[in-house]
Structure 1
Amino acid sequence: MGAVYLVRHGQASFGADDYDRLSEVGAEQSAAVGKELRRRGLEFTGVYCGTMTRQRDTALAAGFEPVQDARWNEYDFLDVLRGHGSGNPDRGDPRRFQAALDEALLAWVAAAEGSDCGESWPAFAGRIGTALEDTVTALGRGENALVFTSGGVIGAIAALLIGDQAGRFTPLHRVTCNAGITKLVAGRSGLTLVAFNEHGHFEGEGRHLLTYR
């Protein structure tokens, strides 16, 4: 039985001109999740990330040298907002921005292949599905893989394994915290979600590091 650990990147630079870089808090979160993974005594035969800066830098700050694979990249949230949003949401207000993004995501998913976005929901779900399948296939008995990716990717995978991927994607995506850990186990019956969005490393003394955007 093998396992795949999915880690969401640390906090990016929300509201800045270049979102795709870690904030100071994000760098701290990344180091903390690396410490947590080592505390568990885990060994990984494969470590991967997307090609986004925030994903790669989270892996490096956590103490890992990842192999980059663009299939683990996040969807283009600006493209989704342009294609399915009702306006230009204020990035200075995280709650209002999240509400606008949720609305756009629901419309994006519902549009399916009919979306005008550069990448449709089925295309997004399909590419991360093949990335996951290839990662699991490469695992030997008792081996672990580690993937540094994004909240939308993790939410889509969790929704797929629970059932009703399209329906559950947005609410699961919404609650993924920065540098949270999701665990999937591969066995004879297939792939099973056994832990979603673990963030005990951000409780107690580390509670100031818990963020969702």
Structure 2
Amino acid sequence: MPHITLVRHGQANTEARDEESYDKLSELGHQQARWLGAHMQATGDRFQRVYSGTMVRHIETADGIGVDLEPLRDDRLNEIAYFDLSRLMEEQHGLLIPTEREGFVEHLPKVLGTWQEGRIEGAPESFEQFHSRVQDIMTEIAAGDGRALVVTSGGLIGMVLRQTLNLDVSGWAQMCLAIMNTSVHRWHMVLDRPLLTQFNGVPHLETPDRHYAQTHL
């Protein structure tokens, strides 16, 4: 039975306000990845295939986990250009970009909803293009043999959840906001359909001395 484990990258540059500056792990992000890799080794979590996006934070996270397989890097696993979409939303619709995490609770669904409606001019890609590329790469991974590890980003994991659970924009945004750095999400394919069996697991960060490392940005 095909088995897919999606992992969100480690904590990135939380001070960034553009795509390029955000795309690198913080010191804590590197540590989160190493802890996850050690946990997988200790629990016998083995994979026959490894994939990652082509972003720096994906590659650094996969390297930190340290699976003994060369990841297949595919840009279809890359994140939404959220900083770019947010900038365009501010310019075209007057929606200010939040400066604290709580502000994204209202900001994210507005951006995603406007994007889905096709009302953000000059977006790096359309909602339909994002939806299709995620569907395409996940279908290809699901068709392979053995257990697959996929290192990617929260927005993409959220889209896979949306496609699996038939979520609306509000539900998709809520899922994205909940997803923690280096969290683990698992699907089993049953009769060619994805069955979600784990969401947002961080067993490698659950001891009291690591609670501080349960981050979202």
Q: In the aligned structure 2, how far is the partner of 1:146 from the partner of 1:9?
A: 12
Deviations 1:10-66 (A, max 9, x none): 000021361100001101111111122223312212101111000110000110332
Alpha carbons 1:135, 1:145 under 8 Å: kept: yes
CA 1:63–1:71: 2 relative to 1, 3 Å = same
Q: Which residue of 2 aligns with 1:169?
A: 172
Corresponding letter in the other structure for 2:97 = P
Q: Which residue of 1 aligns with 2:78?
A: 73
Q: In the aligned structure 2, how far is the partner of 1:163 from the partner of 1:54?
A: 28
How does 1:82-161 map onto structure 2 within 5 Å? 82-85=87-90, 86-91=94-99, 93-97=100-104, 99-109=106-116, 111-112=117-118, 115-116=120-121, 117-139=123-145, 143-161=146-164
User: Which stretch of the first structure deviates more once superposed, 148-157 or 41-50?
Assistant: 41-50
Aligned residues: 207
CA 1:165–1:70: 2 relative to 1, 3 Å = farther
**2:46 paired with 1:43:** yes
Q: In the aligned structure 2, how far is the partner of 1:196 from the partner of 1:147?
A: 14
User: Which stretch of the first structure deviates more once superposed, 191-200 or 37-46?
Assistant: 37-46
CA 1:164–1:96: 2 relative to 1, 3 Å = closer
Show structure 1 runs of 4+ deviating over 6 A: none
Shift of 1:187: 2.1
Deviations 1:152-211 (A, max 9, x none): 010110121112354521111110000000000012251111111111221123212100
1:206 to 190, 203, 210: 210
**2:61 paired with 1:55:** no
Q: In the aligned structure 2, how far is the partner of 1:164 from the partner of 1:210?
A: 25
Identity %: 29
Q: Which residue of 2 aligns with 1:6?
A: 6
CA 1:176–1:96: 2 relative to 1, 3 Å = same
- Normalized against structure 1, the TM-score is what? 0.89
Any gaps of 5 or more consecutive residues in structure 2?
Answer: none
SS at match of 2:79: coil
Deviations 1:79-128 (A, max 9, x none): 2112334345254x33335543443223222x14x542121112111101
Any gaps of 5 or more consecutive residues in structure 1?
Answer: none
